[in-house]
A and B are shown apart, each in its own frame.
Chain A
Amino acid sequence: MALEAEVWSDIKPIPLDDGPDPLAPIAYDAEYSEAMGYFRAISQRDERSERALKLTERIVEYNPAHYTIWHYRQQILFSLNKNLNEELDFVKEQIESNPKNYQLWHHRQVLVEKLMDASCELPFINEILNDDAKNYHAWTYRQWIIRTFNLWENELDFVNKLLDKDVRNNSAWNQRYFTLFFNPTKPTEEFLTQEIEYVIEKIKMAPNNISPWNYIKGIIAKSNKDIGILEELCKEIEKQDIISPHAIGCLVDIYESRARKGSATDKEEGIRICTLLAEKHDAIRKKYWEYRKVILTSL
């Protein structure tokens, strides 16, 4: 679809001047080239008009990642006092078809910052996460919304639901940590003890899932507890004849921490299970476990 001739009759488009032998030139659609020609002409005089607004819409159809066009569009929207709620609807559609585009999420953030109203945001993000629960952009934006508008209250429930759906969703585990420790209200000692029990249950459900293992080690370090409290769990998994490199790897951490305090039996046991990991249970990381063995041996 061509641009309406009568609206643009006073403007002489500026063609792209790419020199005699351009690097990485793109075979642009004719419509994109035409629209960019008009953009060059009117942006040089900083025209902020209805036709300029329509032009930016045309350009992002072909190139939703054009950050300069989004920046220009924002200036136009603000200058013309446009209804930014309508723009939120527009960018919602855009994000739905390009959920991993930095510029679109940023545009939404600029609008919400201006409106200082986040009432539509969590439901919208939920929709996006429903399609891809690990979308990094959506999580980045969600964290910004929660911090900026102090929306901590129901976040743990939300994370619980996501983990019930997929206990391997590492983004949800990360959000759990964010919800607990980036919240201005810090978790109590009692809460953290319960939290460790919650994670242990999740580990038992799927001992080969690395995410809760990383998370529980993080919680233990953060609450100044001893990693030794996981020994029982690791051994219980071992007894059930489930091979979990994460459980055995966790034992290496436990034995190493005791070997550092001088325990010779833990040192020996650590060396033994490093060999087991290297030779059998985590062979892809053979050289890494051999490296850990060298560290243990040197203690």
Chain B
Amino acid sequence: MPTEKEFVRDKHISYLKRGLTLLPKQYASNDTNRMTLAFFCLSGLDLLGALESEIPEERRKTWIDWIYAQQILPDERNPEINEKICGFRGSPFSGLPFDPNGSRESRLPFDAANLAMTYTALTSLLILGDDLSRVNRSSIINSLKYLQKDDGSFTQTYQGMESDMRFLYCAVVISYILNDFSGINIEKAIDYIKNSQSYDFGIGQGPGEESHGGSTYCAISSLYMLNKLDEGLLSKEKTLFWLISRQESGFQGRANKPPDTCYSFWIGASLKILDKLELINYEQNHNFLMQTQAKFGGFAKLIDNYPDVMHTYLGIAGLSLMNEPRFLELDPAINISKKAKENLLNNCAFHKQK
């Protein structure tokens, strides 16, 4: 037996810090998703217990400002004019001047918030220790109404992109963080999840589609936050079997596909929510992740691939789920550390007792 590789904690910290300060040009295709890339790096550092020691407080504050600068706020005189586009953008690509208090005047024809970016903006703020006091809750919740389709799924922007389980999850987790579910037709959302359960009791991106680890996570986590796990899962035991069957060494996302770093999180977190993570083989999952770990920091999707920011974060999150030493504990539904969730519950006006 070869000796197993060690977790290169310090190198991962350097890799994530580089991601926060300058990404190579290959990331240009993620220009609209910079908020999500930032979240992966921030949450990764947080789970490693390194955020406060590695990033000075002053810098964390300027980053909080950068996140708020991506918020599209309702027009003061006529909120109806831009109510469909409120929330957070992924980056300032649409061209308004930088304003750490958000863009109130935004009526650009091609400017709009995006559900995935609103979700990762909120989580990044929580990780950075912000109390969400500058978040315009009512405008975000109101905008959700325009993004839900008749079948119950959500689309990411009002501009009409694809709609599926990913954005249903985003809508639910945003509502959970903001403690207000009035923007979602819950009955339709549950129906969409039920209809997307396949004959093998995994869950696809939509009705008729192949069961997939990512969409299964989105569905299970949404049901959990809606407090509808029992109603929404047609058979909890059979979904459990589908999840458990994905372990090959690490986890695959679909039957007969190779294991991939990110499913240690998607499948692992699904099992954690169902309170059954202890049924997996920790050692084999750990050893697989040590093989996709790059020597100089970061995790790759597959063995012998180059690392990227997303797989780095999901690899770290996967290890954190298994309570490895020196990791902060992860909240599997919101996908932030329990420490960041404590910040939400104790310091944010949306959750504090009146």
Name A's B-contacting residues (CB within 8 A).
Answer: 14, 16-29, 32, 36, 40-41, 43-44, 46, 62-68, 71-72, 102-103, 105-106, 109, 134, 136, 139-140, 143, 168-171, 174, 177-178, 182, 209-211, 214-215, 217-219, 221-222, 284-288, 291
Contact = CB atoms under 8 A, between A and B. Distances in A.
B109 A174 contact: no
Contact of A217 (B95, B97, B109, B199): B199
B22 interface: yes
Please list the 3 inter-chain residue pairs (A to B) with the smallest Cβ-Cβ separation, ordered nearest first. A218-B199, A40-B95, A214-B200
A174 B244 contact: no
Contacts of A63: 28-29, 31-32
B280 A287 contact: yes
Nearest to A107: B161
A44 B210 contact: no
Contacts of B244: 285, 288
A174 B245 contact: no
28 contacts: A16-B93, A17-B97, A19-B92, A24-B34, A24-B38, A25-B21, A26-B28, A26-B30, A32-B31, A62-B28, A63-B32, A65-B30, A67-B157, A68-B110, A71-B110, A134-B254, A171-B210, A177-B198, A211-B256, A215-B200, A218-B198, A222-B199, A284-B249, A284-B281, A285-B245, A287-B279, A288-B280, A291-B276
Contacts of B205: 136, 140
A64 B159 contact: no
A174 B255 CA distance: 11
B93 A211 contact: no
Given A67-B157, A71-B159, A286-B281, A143 B34 contact: no
A105 to B, nearest CB: 8
Contacts of A214: 199-200, 242, 255
Contacts of B276: 291
A72 B162 CA distance: 16
Contacts of B31: 26, 28, 32, 63, 66
Contacts of A26: 22-25, 27-28, 30-31, 34
B245 A210 contact: yes
A23 B20 contact: yes
B66 A19 contact: yes
Nearest to B285: A284
Nearest to A285: B244
B211 interface: yes
B63 A284 contact: no
B278 interface: yes
Nearest to B209: A140
Given A221-B199, A285-B281, A288-B279, A23 B34 contact: yes
Contacts of A291: 276, 279
Interface residues of B, number: 75
A105 B205 CA distance: 15
Contacts, number: 192
B79 interface: no
A217 B124 CA distance: 43
A210 B41 CA distance: 36
Given A17-B95, A170-B256, A182-B208, 15 more contacts: A17-B92, A17-B97, A19-B69, A24-B34, A27-B22, A41-B95, A62-B28, A67-B32, A140-B206, A140-B209, A143-B208, A210-B255, A211-B255, A285-B279, A286-B281
Interface in B20-51: 20-25, 27-35, 37-38, 41
B284 interface: yes
B37 A24 contact: yes
A106 B63 contact: no
Contacts of A43: 94-95, 108-110
A284 B160 CA distance: 44
Contact of B95 (A44, A134, A171, A286): A44
Given A25-B23, A72-B110, A174-B209, A64 B97 contact: no
Given A19-B65, A29-B28, A178 B247 contact: no
B77 interface: no
B129 interface: no
B110 A14 contact: no
Interface string B226-264: 000000000000000110110111000011110000000
A171 B276 CA distance: 27
Contacts of B159: 67-68, 71
B19 A24 contact: yes
Contacts of A209: 256
B69 A68 contact: no
A67 B159 CA distance: 9
B321 to A, nearest CB: 15
A231 B247 CA distance: 26
A205 B208 CA distance: 26
B22 A25 contact: yes
A44 B109 contact: yes
A188 to B, nearest CB: 19
Contacts of A18: 66, 91-92, 98
B199 A215 contact: yes
Contact of A287 (B27, B92, B281): B281
Nearest to A175: B210
Contact of B211 (A27, A28, A174): A174
B62 interface: yes
Contact of B257 (A29, A66, A170): A170
Contacts of A288: 241, 244, 279-280
B112 interface: yes
